[in-house]
Chains A and B, each alone.
Chain A
Amino acid sequence: MEEIWNGILRAIELIITLNPEVMGITARSLFISFAAVFLAAIIDIPLGGLIELRDFRGKKALVELIQTLYGLPTVTVGLLVFLLLSRSGPLGELELLYTPAGMVIGQMILISPILTGLTISALKGVGPQIRDTAVSLGADECQVIGAIIKEARFAVISAVLIAFGRALSEVGVAMMIGGNIRDYTRVLTTSIALQTSMGNLEMSIALGILLIGISMILNLSLSRFQGR
C-alpha cells in the first residue's frame, strides 16, 4: 500500500513539475489520437450521412454490420494493419510500420465503425421534414447532408468525442503498429503497460492519472453536449 501511496505522490510531482518525458508522451498521445479522429471524421461523418439518407439494397445489413464492429478488438485491428503495413504486405512500400502515421491509420480503422454508426444514429434523430424542407428549397445531396448534420451537430460532436476517447485509450494498435519506441511512438497506454512491467509504478501512476484526467474532461464535455 505504501508503495502505491508513494507512487501517487511521485506521480503528482512528475505532473506538477511538467516532467518532459511525461509531457512528451501525453502530447504525442493527444496528437496521434486527434489526427486519427480528425481524418476519420472527414470520411465517416459524410459517409454516415450518405448511408442514412440514401435508400439502397442491404442498407439494414450494412448498418447492423457497422454496429457490430463497435466492439472491434483493438489487437485484431492491430494485426490487420500490421499485415497491411509490414514489409511483405500490400502497403509495405510506404514504410509506415512503427511510425506515428501507421498508428493514426490503425486508430482511424478502429474508430470508423463507431463514428459512422453514431453519425447514422444521430441523423436518424432529425425528422424527415428537415430533409424535405432542405430539398424543396433547392439543396443538392451534399447540401442536404450538411444541413442534417448541422441539425444533429450536438449528437455528432458527441460521436466524435466518444471516438476520441476510444482512440486515446486503446493499446492494441498503438503497441502492434507503433512498437512503443521511446520519444517516437510511445503513447500513454503503451507507456503505462511498459512502466508497469518494469516495476516503475510512479511513472505508470502519473501517466494513468493523466489518462484518467483526459478521459474525465472528455466525458464532461460529452455530458455538456448531450445535455443540449
Chain B
Amino acid sequence: MSMAFLEVTNLCKSYGQAEILKQINISVDRGEILGLVGPTGSGKTTLLRLINLLEEPSSGSILLEGQRKSGRPEREKIAARRRMAMVFQKPVMFKSNVLENICFGLRARQLDQPEQRKEKAMQALQSVGLPGYESRDANTLSGGEMQRIALARAIILQPELLLLDEPTANLDPRSASAIDSILLGLAGGRTAMILATHNMMQCRRLADRVAVLVGGRITALGKSEDILGRAERSGISSPAIAGLEIPW
C-alpha cells in the first residue's frame, strides 16, 4: 500500500479551554486536491496553519511521506515548510514591488540565480493574468490582484504541498475561473493540494475528495461527487454549508 504524501493523524488544537480542532484524520496524495469545506469558524484556517507548521498542535501528528514534522526542532520544520506553500485568505504583501514579493520564497529557499528568478516571476505573473505588474508597488494593488500575486508567490516555488485558504474569495468570477484553471493544471502532477473554501461549486470542479469540517470535527470525508452530490440532493447550497446547516 502506497504512503500518502501528507498524513494528519488524531490532530487536536486548543487555545486555552477552547477546542478548535478535535481528532482530525486526513491524508492527501501527490497530485490530489482535497477540498476542505465548512462554515466560518469551523477550524479550516487553523488546520491549514498547523499543516504549514506555523503552529504546534496540542496533540496528534503531521507527517510528510511518513515522517513526523510537527513537534520537531525549528530547523527540521523550516526544511519541511520549504516543501510547501500556503496562500492565505487575506494575503499581505511586503513593502516592495510585485517582483520582490513573488521572488521572496525563491530567495529564502536559495533557489535559482536572480535572472532565473525574474524569468520565473514573469511566467508566474503571466499565469495569474497579471503580466507587466512586476514593477508595481505591491501594496497599492486591489484585494483581488493581491490574491493573485499571493498565488503566483506560492506556485513559483513548485511546492510539493500547496495549502489554499479561500484563494478566490476576493476575485471576480472571471479571475476565479482563471485561478481554478491554474490549480487544475497543477493537479495530477507532483503537487498535493488542500483547498479550503466556502464555494461548493469550486470544490466540485477542483477537488478529488472533500472533507467537511464542522465545529472542529471532520463530519464527512469522501469523493467529492459523493459528498457534494449528497449535499446537492439534500438541497444544500453553498451558503447553507457556510451556515452550519449540514445534515451529516
| Residues of A bordering B, CB below 8 Å | 127, 129-130, 132-141, 143, 147, 150-151, 153
**Chain B contact patch, size range:** 20 to 34
CB-defined contacts of B36 to chain A, threshold 8 Å: none
**Among the listed A127, A140, A147, A153, which residue makes an inter-chain contact with B104, where contact means beta carbons less than 8 Å apart?**
A147
- Chain B positions within 8 Å of A147 at CB level: 94, 104
- Given contacts A147-B94, A147-B104, are A138 and B88 in contact (CB under 8 A)? no
- Whether A136 and B108, one on each chain, are in contact in the complex, defined by CB atoms closer than 8 angstroms, is no
Given contacts A132-B54, A135-B81, A151-B95, contact A140 B108 (CB under 8 A): yes
B144 at the interface (CB under 8 A from A): no
B94 touches A138 (CB 8 A): no
Closest to A130 in B: B92
| Chain A contacts for B212, CB-based, 8 A | none
Nearest A-chain residue to B49, judged by Cβ: A132
B109 at interface (Cβ–Cβ under 8 A)? yes
Name the residue in A132, A134, A136, A153 with the highest tally of chain B Cβ atoms < 10 Å from its Cβ.
A136
A134 touches B108 (CB 8 A): yes
Q: Which residues of B contact A150 (CB under 8 A)?
A: 94-96
A147 CA to B84 CA in the complex, in Å?
19
B78 touches A137 (CB 8 A): no
- In chain B, what residue has the closest Cβ to A148? B94
Known: A138-B109, A143-B108. A129 touches B90 (CB 8 A): yes
How many angstroms from the CA of A175 to the CA of B104 in the assembled complex?
48
B95–A136 contact, CB under 8 A?
no
A139 nearest CB neighbor, chain B only = B108
Residue B85 at the chain A interface, CB threshold 8 Å: yes
B52 within 8 A of A: yes
A137-B90 contact, Cβ under 8 Å, with A132-B54, A143-B108, A151-B95: no
B52 proximity list for chain A (CB < 8 A): 136
Output the nearest chain B residue to A153 by Cβ-Cβ distance: B95
- Whether B92 lies near A133 (C-beta < 8 A) is yes
The CA of A132 and the CA of B55, in the complex, are separated in Å by 10
Asked if B153 is an interface residue, CB under 8 A from chain A, the answer is yes
Contacts A141-B74, A143-B108, A147-B104 given; indicate if A136 touches B54 (C-beta within 8 A): yes
Complex A-B, nearest 5 residue pairs according to Cβ-Cβ distance, in ascending order: A137-B105, A138-B82, A139-B108, A129-B92, A136-B86
Smallest Cβ-Cβ distance to B92: which chain A residue: A129
Tell me if B91 counts as interface (CB < 8 A to partner A). yes
- Which single member of B49, B74, B78 contacts A138 (CB below 8 Å)? B78
**Residues on the A chain within 8 Å of B94, using CB:** 130, 133-134, 147, 150-151
Evaluate contact between B92 and A138: CB separation under 8 angstroms: no
A133-B49 Cα distance, complex, nearest whole Å: 11
Chain B residues lying within 8 Å of A140, measured Cβ to Cβ, are: 78, 108
In the complex, the chain B residue whose C-beta lies closest to that of A140 is B78
Q: How far is the CB of B18 from chain A (nearest CB, A)?
A: 19
CB nearest to B163 among chain A residues: A136
